[in-house]
Amino acid sequence: MSVFTGSAVAIVTPFTEQGEINYPAFAKLIEFQIANKTDAIVVCGTTGEASTLTHEEHLDCIRFCVKQVGGRVPVIAGTGSNCTETAIYLTQEADRAGADAMLVVTPYYNKATQKGLIAHYTAIAACTKKPLILYNVPSRTGCNIKPETAACLFQNVENIVGIKEASGDLSAAAEIMARTNGEMDLYSGNDDQVVAMMALGAKGVISVLSNIIPEEVHEMAASYLRGDVEKAKKLQLDYFFLEKAAFCEVNPIPIKKAMNLMGLEAGTLRPPLTEMEEQNVARLRAEMEKVNLLRRDA
């Protein structure tokens, strides 16, 4: 059984003006997602600024999210690291905290070989019985999971069940599915490729845009899954330019700005991320206005 089908939000980590984790705001964001049909919550991923959290903060966020969700939707914990032992530690602790699955990004900066990736992921999977979803985002990590490597891990490690494919390479996604007879759980890691990826057999999306339009992203995936491809396609295209504006600076800078504009209290960014450039704020605001986001009651 898949960890989830449909739309999972890669949820932000809200910070106070002093840079501390804002747990009351975090609780509200989780409730906003669940109320608006999000199918799963990914905590402490890229969008959650996990790279600037201490290990204690990272695990506290996971524990808080699991408790707040209370089993209503799956909680998928980001537990990747460029150090295998650290990834094992975070995975074990997330397991103890009650996370339903782990999302494990490739080691960044080290530039592991494909052999190294197999050893890395096999070691992490051995420390838990919970399902693992590989996370391939070479534009951020400098490390690409080749389709044959993803297939090898899926076929040889029982609890490696899926992959968040964010390389933007649809041919690679197709090859993963071809090599695994369509059995590996594929998730789009890019909001502008949801329908295209689902046409190749993806189960859904792990979405940044869902932070501001959770019901629409859920419906995009749900429509495709129930066979209403035209509706899914319409939603994909209706929000295409909003998605582009939401990525006109590095994630999560624009999505946090969009949330704050909506009154969703995402708070500040942690250095080295900085506030959005004013001309890009204007672009983002304009696209939000086109889809009536600034007039919604969040």
Strand 40-43 with 101-105, pairing: unpaired
Q: Which of 50, 56, 58, 45 is nearest to 8 (CA)?
A: 45
22 in Cβ contact with 57 (< 8 Å): no
CA distances (Å), origin 82, targets 62, 78, 272: 19, 13, 19
pLDDT at 294: 86
Would you write out the chain's pLDDT as a tens digit for each of its 298 residues? 899 999 999 999 999 999 999 999 999 999 999 999 999 999 999 999 999 999 999 999 999 999 999 999 999 999 999 999 999 999 999 999 999 999 999 999 999 999 999 999 999 999 999 999 999 999 999 999 999 999 999 999 999 999 999 999 999 999 999 999 999 999 999 999 999 999 999 999 999 999 999 999 999 999 999 999 999 999 999 999 999 999 999 999 999 999 999 999 999 999 999 999 999 999 999 999 999 998 654 4
User: Structural domain boundaries of the chain?
Assistant: 6-237
pLDDT at 174: 98
DSSP alpha helix (H) spans, 36-113: 55-69, 84-97
**164 classed as catalytic:** yes
pLDDT at 8: 98
* CATH 1.20.120.1760 is held by the domain 6-237: no
Contact residues for 42 (Cβ-Cβ < 8 A; gap 6+): 8, 9, 10, 11, 48, 76, 77, 78, 103, 206
**187 classed as catalytic:** no
Catalytic entry in 121, 130, 135, 257: 135
pLDDT at 296: 53
pLDDT at 298: 45
pLDDT at 234: 98
Catalytic entry in 130, 164, 203, 257: 164
Burial class for 40, CB neighbours closer than 10 Å (0-12, 13-18, 19+):
buried
For residue 266, give the DSSP letter: -
**Half-sphere exposure of residue 148: CA atoms within 13 angstroms, side-chain side:** 3
